[in-house]
Structure 1
Amino acid sequence: MKGIVFLGERRLALVEVNDPTPGDGEVVVEIKASGMCGSDLHPYRALQDLSRPPESRVIGGHEPSGIVAAVGRGVPRHVALVGDRVMVHHYHGCTVCRHCRTGWPQLCEPITRTTYSANAHGAHAPYMKVSADTLVPLHDSLSFEAGAAIACGTGTAWGGLERLQPRGDETIAVFGQGPVGLSATLLASTRGSRVIAIDLDDDRLAMARQFGADETINAREANVAEVLRELTGGQGVEMVVETSGSPQAAAAGLQAIAVWGKVCMVGIGGKVTVDTQAMLDRQITVMTSYTMSTVAQKSCADFVVSRNLDLDRLFTHRWRLDQAEDAYRVFDAQVSGKGAFIF
């Protein structure tokens, strides 16, 4: 089969690899949808390592959704059967440390974790071999595209909100309206919060309004912290979700947070300098959120189903594998909604 590998410097390749066969405790998933994630842009844009041939690299893609195609020895029937509709939690750890046992393999204490698409083949291919304990059921009413979104982007937004624990009467500023931020806007507004969406692109802000944003701010055209204070009667917002990874966005969120407010950093790649006195004066809580646990991934899917949320609206582009170069060229511009490879 063929799969996508990232070469760096905005180049990629389709490489030929053997079809996977499940070992003990493993399954092979026939991929139906593999989402494109903002974190893909890091290896996509990275400096090219010319010493590594394409065939030596792992297949990308860590938002998998599909059907169990083969089951290895030792996998209980209640965990996986051929034909099951599933999502994949894209981390696998030692399975016995306290973090793995509570559904957080990305925090595995022995640091033995597998990250699919980083040190093991990912989902940008027709089939993917994974440990059976990474499987999360996909409800019959959800599309495979929705499953791919929940497997990382939407699930990451859910994880950030779970860290913040909104009651439903807060004003939440969501920085960045890419797939994660747009999901945060949708989930927070559905939970009753007033949402102010911030981005640099008017088309993304228009989508944010369709997904429940009460107000939008174009960061190219305004001092975001000042506008957020104006929109909250000078008090500032109670909560911030920062999904863009931009240092400027993080700084604006910290400046605009209310007394006793909470800021959750989700975006990857930025560095933030903080004025500790200013934070102390307002008793601010600053936290991070690292995707979500396997338990939270299931909870997110259950919430989407119970509220009848249409996650398919997140997707503005659906691609074939042989369109990978065009797909990432469009995604790299960061002015569209979510993209996925469909099989």
Structure 2
Amino acid sequence: MRGVYLPGDSTAVLRELPIPAPGAGQVLIEVGASGICGSDIGYIYHEHKGHRGVEGPAYRGVVAGHEPAGRIVAAGPGCRRFGIGDRVIVYHIAGCGLCDNCRRGYFISCGAAQRQAYGWQRDGGHANYLLAEESTCVALPDELSFVDGALIACGFGTAYEGLRRIAVSGDGDLLVVGLGPVGLAAGMIGKGMGARRVVGVEPSAQRREWAAGLGVFDATLEPGPDAESTAKLAADALRAPGAATTIDCSGSRAGRATAIAGAAEWGRVSLVGEGGTLETEVSDALLHKQLTLYASWVTSLTAMAELATNLARWGLRPESVVSDRFALAEADKAYALAAGASDGKVVLVPGEPGP
């Protein structure tokens, strides 16, 4: 089989590898699709950096890709829930399974030394086959494709958790700041959760146009010169003083300020974008508006399974936010586009023929 590695010099390298055999509690997955995540770009592709307070590179020179979905082709001893032929999404962290966070399904927050992320500390999904722990697998409904599953594995799961925290519903509107892949996911899921109106804010005209074509945003707005003017534009589009719920997916100081300014009194603000800083005036911006801020990092195993079921029930297809698909042999081209000016999400589909 072949797998993609990221040397840290803004290239993606394809290497030949043996097909692994599953051990106890493990499954071998034929990868159907594997997404490219912004964190892969920021922490691995350009340069091997530390992450979440860990000194030194977080990437351990393994097969890249932490957003895989596929079909199980072999199962090791002791597997009880999944077997050969099952279609699965892979939750991208293998935790210790014993700490409180793992027992709640939040493997992402496992603090044990044996915690490993697919594509970071253990081989990931940018390959023909992936060796995964059965405990990290989530059933992929028949109504959804492998590309749908790959998107649920990270970006859609992240957006869903952030929206769950602020209880998006038909009782209010939703403002989405930043229309990259996670912001597009937030808009689609917000519609599924029943938000009355969904408005997006994005500085890139290219991305605004792509988002507008998805049919889930009631308006896609270019930001004004500051957070307050952008909030006024959003309020006009919502025909309301502000949004009951807002989510920042940009990870930027300006985007977070917009999410706060765009919230109505008693509003709920979700922060899911990585990196950057948060700077805000407190009295008028937060206290006097009675706002609640939520910080959310990825999602839990159980919420990811819930999201997959909900998307199938809502009739929503995550793959509609994908602008570009590449064969495994085109990984270098795919990463260059994902790190540059892609309209939407970029995915690798190992089963597609290369150039």
> Normalization by structure 1: what TM-score?
0.91
Check if 1:195 corresponds to 2:214.
Answer: no
Change beyond 3 A, Cα 1:185–1:56? closer
Are 2:60 and 2:121, in contact at CA under 8 Å, matched by a contact in 1?
Answer: no
Change beyond 3 A, Cα 1:112–1:275? farther
Are 1:7 and 1:48, in contact at CA under 8 Å, matched by a contact in 2?
Answer: no
Change beyond 3 A, Cα 1:247–1:45? farther
Structure 1 counterpart of 2:138: 136
Are 1:93 and 1:111, in contact at CA under 8 Å, matched by a contact in 2?
Answer: no
Q: Deviations over 1:280-327 (max 9, x none)?
A: 222211111211111111111111111111323122211011111111
Q: Deviations over 1:101-153 (max 9, x none)?
A: 22111122535421111111110011111111001111112111111111111
Moved over 6 A (4+): none
The Cα of 1:228 is off from its aligned counterpart by 2.4
Structure 2 counterpart of 1:32: 32
Change beyond 3 A, Cα 1:73–1:270? same
CA RMSD of aligned residues (A): 2.2
Alignment size in residue pairs: 337
Change beyond 3 A, Cα 1:120–1:262? same
Structure 2 counterpart of 1:67: 71
**Which of 252, 260, 264 is the matching residue for 1:254?**
260
**Which of 171, 175, 178 is the matching residue for 2:177?**
175
Q: Deviations over 1:266-293 (max 9, x none)?
A: 1112211232333122221111121111
Query: Which residue identity lines up with residue 230 of structure 2 in the other structure?
Result: V
Moved more, 242-251 or 39-48: 39-48
Q: How far apart in 2 are the matches of 1:94 and 1:330?
A: 35
The Cα of 1:208 is off from its aligned counterpart by 2.5
Q: How far apart in 2 are the matches of 1:163 and 1:44?
A: 31
Q: How far apart in 2 are the matches of 1:7 and 1:62?
A: 16
Moved more, 82-91 or 199-208: 199-208
**Which of 81, 84, 88 is the matching residue for 1:82?**
84
The Cα of 1:67 is off from its aligned counterpart by 0.8
The Cα of 1:221 is off from its aligned counterpart by 7.2
Structure 1 counterpart of 2:325: 318
Check if 1:284 corresponds to 2:275.
Answer: no
Query: Which residue identity lines up with residue 105 of structure 2 in the other structure?
Result: G
The Cα of 1:73 is off from its aligned counterpart by 1.4
**Which of 281, 298, 307 is the matching residue for 1:300?**
307
Query: Which residue identity lines up with residue 200 of structure 2 in the other structure?
Result: A
Over the matched positions of the two proteins, sequence identity in percent amounts to 33
Query: Which residue identity lines up with residue 8 of structure 1 in the other structure?
Result: G
- Give matches, 1:1-343, under 5 Å: 1-42=1-42, 43-46=44-47, 57-76=61-80, 79-110=81-112, 112-193=114-195, 194-209=197-212, 210-219=214-223, 223-232=229-238, 235-278=241-284, 279-342=286-349, 343=351
The Cα of 1:64 is off from its aligned counterpart by 0.7
Change beyond 3 A, Cα 1:56–1:255? closer
Q: How far apart in 2 are the matches of 1:211 and 1:41?
A: 28
Change beyond 3 A, Cα 1:187–1:17? same
Query: Which residue identity lines up with residue 303 of structure 2 in the other structure?
Result: A
Change beyond 3 A, Cα 1:220–1:38? farther
Query: Which residue identity lines up with residue 257 of structure 1 in the other structure?
Result: A
5+ unaligned residues in a row in structure 2: which ranges? Answer: 51-55
Structure 1 counterpart of 2:53: none
SS of residue in 1 equivalent to 2:184: helix
Change beyond 3 A, Cα 1:306–1:232? closer
SS of residue in 1 equivalent to 2:288: helix
Change beyond 3 A, Cα 1:122–1:208? same
Query: Which residue identity lines up with residue 298 of structure 2 in the other structure?
Result: T
> Normalization by structure 2: what TM-score?
0.88
The Cα of 1:87 is off from its aligned counterpart by 0.7
5+ unaligned residues in a row in structure 1: which ranges? Answer: none
Q: How far apart in 2 are the matches of 1:30 and 1:170?
A: 42
Q: Deviations over 1:9-33 (max 9, x none)?
A: 4222223333222121111111011
The Cα of 1:192 is off from its aligned counterpart by 2.4
Are 1:172 and 1:237, in contact at CA under 8 Å, matched by a contact in 2?
Answer: yes
Change beyond 3 A, Cα 1:270–1:211? farther
The Cα of 1:220 is off from its aligned counterpart by 6.7
